[in-house]
Structure 1
Amino acid sequence: MASTDGRTPGTHPLATRRPIPPPLPWTDGIRALACLCVVWWHALLTVVPSDPTAAQRLLVLPLGGAARASVLVFIVLSGYLLGRHWRPGLRRYLVRRSWRLLPPYWATVALTVVAMAFLGLRNASGSHWDSGLPFTWERVAADLLLITDFTGEVPLSHQLWTIPVEFHLYFLAPLIVLLWRPRWLLAVAALGTLAVVLLAPQHPAPFFVFAFMAAFFSGVRRQQLTSATPVVVLRLLAPLAAVGLAVGVVGFAAGTLGESQARYYLLDAAVAPLVLGLLLWGDLCAPHAAPLRWLTVRPLAWVGTRSYSIYLVHGLVLELVWRALVRPLDLTDSPAIGTVAVLGTVASLAAGLALYLAVERPSARRSAAVR
């Protein structure tokens, strides 16, 4: 007898090879909005001092929360789509992920080093860029080896902290496929996240472990479904949300999560099920809903396709715009924020396009050619 989600009890989700699900063009729109939100957030951080005024906090707090949620969106979306298209073959999977992720990242690190060496970016300017200083070759090596999430260092270009985290999360995918039963997955995801919370209290994103595992698992389970109701989606998400929040409560009670880290953790734990629910709902329940069609408009699709390259270079571009154009004008805070946001966004789109054409698109083709 079939289960309520259309799967035969006792069978592995990929025991029978199934056709690849149809593409989801509206996910590019989600990527685009998330990417632009992060760019605007870092534009704000470039100008606003570390001790903002009461008026500035009206921008800092909501935009900061939205930017953090946007980073989580990348993690959840990546995990879900990888699980949705998962096929057995560990070596092929890891080689393809490496070709897709690493060449653009390494090119960005090289560009950052060159800019710091020849354009004066090794010197502090009072912007958020200073969090990646001082320049040392040890920091360069940590960036290139993708170990900053283990060493606790801030990368030279601060927004690059997410790339090592994401790359290391990819190694969890085969484990998730083996632990296809929900209770096993929940147990391992909870233990893994709790280990990060207790043993690495300075880790910037402890909930990303749980979010990625839940998203990838949901993508694999989606291969068994041709349609679903909102009730089925809620039944898939409710245990994930409950256990994720419980792990955060344990970490906070143990005193290993500081106030700011606990705030980020709770935000991640609340946003991840919502994002995953939207993906499942749009994929299975309402693939032609009007809000999803709005996400496929050409400008959003253009940005979404190039969002990885834009994300990689935008921190460097914003700092160059700040130092070369905005700071010499000696603008007050409000005009400076607007100027950096507008000029920085345009310049980031242009630089992202250049990186996409020169590095990301060729490496993506190389990734797709791996057999």
Structure 2
Amino acid sequence: MEGLRGLAVLLVFFVHYGAQLAHASGLAPPALGMALQTLGHAGVDLFFVLSGYLIYRMLLGRARPYLPFLARRVQRLYPAFLVVLALQLGIALASVSGGGLPPGAGDRAWLLLANLLLLPGLFTITPIVIVAWSLSYEMAFYLAMPPLVAALQLRRWPAAARVAAMLAAVGLMLATDWAHGRMGMFAAGMLLVETMPLLAALARRGPWLDLAAGAAVLLCGGLLLAGPGGQANFLGLFLAGFLLPAAAFAGAGPVARGLAWRPLRWLGNMSYSYYLVHGLVLEVVFHALKLAGPGLAGLGGAAWWVLLAPAFLATLVGSAALFLAVERPFSILPAGAARRPAPAAGLAAAE
């Protein structure tokens, strides 16, 4: 789980690294950089899969009081988010251009309220924190799933009926070309919960699950790079988002061993803080380099390679600071508490 989360934020890093470098210098990334920037968008979809897996497994296991469940979700999401929101807002207000904020005080107050309520993403509202749109999807999932499980009495359904209902819902979403179709990735994680016994049996029979996961990842990458968009991209993401965690959770082969690599797990352990703050750190780094003189543009095509390691290191430092100072003490239950937190998944879905 930690390795998958580390992979997800690593993918997202390449999206914002390439975009911030191009914005600061006007230089186009090399072919590899462009490819990684395109593929990096899949990191958020992987987070949705992991959230779907953990939250659905939690709710299917036993009934949970709704308000305490939501309170725990708020505790996980908001402390680190509020700090990054305050930093981003302060930088915007201090800038001469206003940092993209609307000019009127009333409009600014409304934008701030909408961001505090995690409405960007669900509605056409500019996020102050660039990645906040995905938190809107997460919160909508947290709000909707407990009453849905309770109202439909899903715990009483046969597993096959629940799987059929999930696939039908995803099919309907595709058929109607729903504007928030990426929410369908939560269903891939929910399907993992339902099919885990079958997947574990398959993993015991040989390397088939690892081979299927590898083929699905290659197919998904090919679709994303070819750029057909729409339903084809979603189906590739859905298949890879299902099979890659399946090989990680149910098997003990190369996929599981690779995702258990300690540096990747270390990154995954603070993935929520990293996800929130890495874009802001990159913005500050490239703005400082731009102010320092023309050296950035002078690097030419080598800029992407030369700055990659220093920029990534800067994001690690900023993320570790946010994790240690805010997320760990305020969002994660302290060691020795009556309830131990479950392993975190998704953006911030730990129990």
Gap runs ≥5 in structure 2: 217-226, 342-350
Count residues in correspondence: 304
Aligned to 2:220: none
Q: C-alpha deviations, 1:310-330, integer Å up to 9, x for none? A: 110011111111112344232
Q: Aligned letter for 2:183?
A: V
Distance 2:8 2:292 in 1: 30
Within 5 Å, which residues of 2 pair with 1:358-369?
358-362=325-329, 363-365=331-333
Within 5 Å, which residues of 2 pair with 1:138-157?
138-157=110-129
Counterpart check, 1:263 vs 2:229: yes
Distance 2:115 2:35 in 1: 30
Aligned to 1:170: 142
Q: C-alpha deviations, 1:166-201, integer Å up to 9, x for none? A: 221223433357275222222334335655x35x4x
SS for the counterpart of 2:128 is coil
Q: C-alpha deviations, 1:198-226, integer Å up to 9, x for none? A: 5x4xxxxx33222202312432453x669
Distance 2:184 2:32 in 1: 29
Counterpart check, 1:209 vs 2:183: yes
Aligned to 2:282: 318
Q: Choose 315-324 or 295-304, whichever is displaced more.
A: 295-304
Distance 2:248 2:332 in 1: 26
Query: Aligned in 2, Cα 1:106/1:210: closer, same or farther, shift over 3 Å?
Result: same
Q: Aligned letter for 1:77?
A: L
Within 5 Å, which residues of 2 pair with 1:1-371?
27-48=1-22, 56=29, 58-59=31-32, 61-86=34-59, 87=61, 88-91=63-66, 92-118=68-94, 120=95, 122-123=97-98, 133-134=101-102, 136-174=108-146, 175=148, 178=154, 181=161, 182-192=163-173, 197-198=177-178, 200=179, 206-222=180-196, 227-229=200-202, 263=229, 265-284=231-250, 286=251, 288-330=252-294, 331-332=296-297, 333-338=300-305, 340-362=307-329, 363-365=331-333
Q: Is the 8 A contact 2:14 2:37 kept in 1?
A: no
Query: Aligned in 2, Cα 1:192/1:96: closer, same or farther, shift over 3 Å?
Result: farther
Gap runs ≥5 in structure 1: 1-26, 125-131, 201-205, 242-259
SS for the counterpart of 2:332 is helix
**1:339 shift after superposition:** 5.1
SS for the counterpart of 1:151 is coil
Q: Is the 8 A contact 1:85 1:220 kept in 2?
A: no
Q: Is the 8 A contact 1:83 1:219 kept in 2?
A: yes
Q: Aligned letter for 1:162?
A: S
Distance 2:266 2:316 in 1: 10
Provide TM-score, normalisation by structure 2.
0.73
Provide TM-score, normalisation by structure 1.
0.70
The runs of at least 4 consecutive aligned structure 1 residues that moved more than 6 Å come to none
Distance 1:216 1:170 in 2: 13
Q: Aligned letter for 1:78?
A: S
Aligned to 1:252: none
Q: Choose 320-329 or 37-46, whichever is displaced more.
A: 320-329
Q: Is the 8 A contact 2:20 2:286 kept in 1?
A: yes
SS for the counterpart of 2:229 is helix
Q: Is the 8 A contact 1:40 1:345 kept in 2?
A: no
SS for the counterpart of 2:333 is helix
Distance 1:40 1:144 in 2: 27
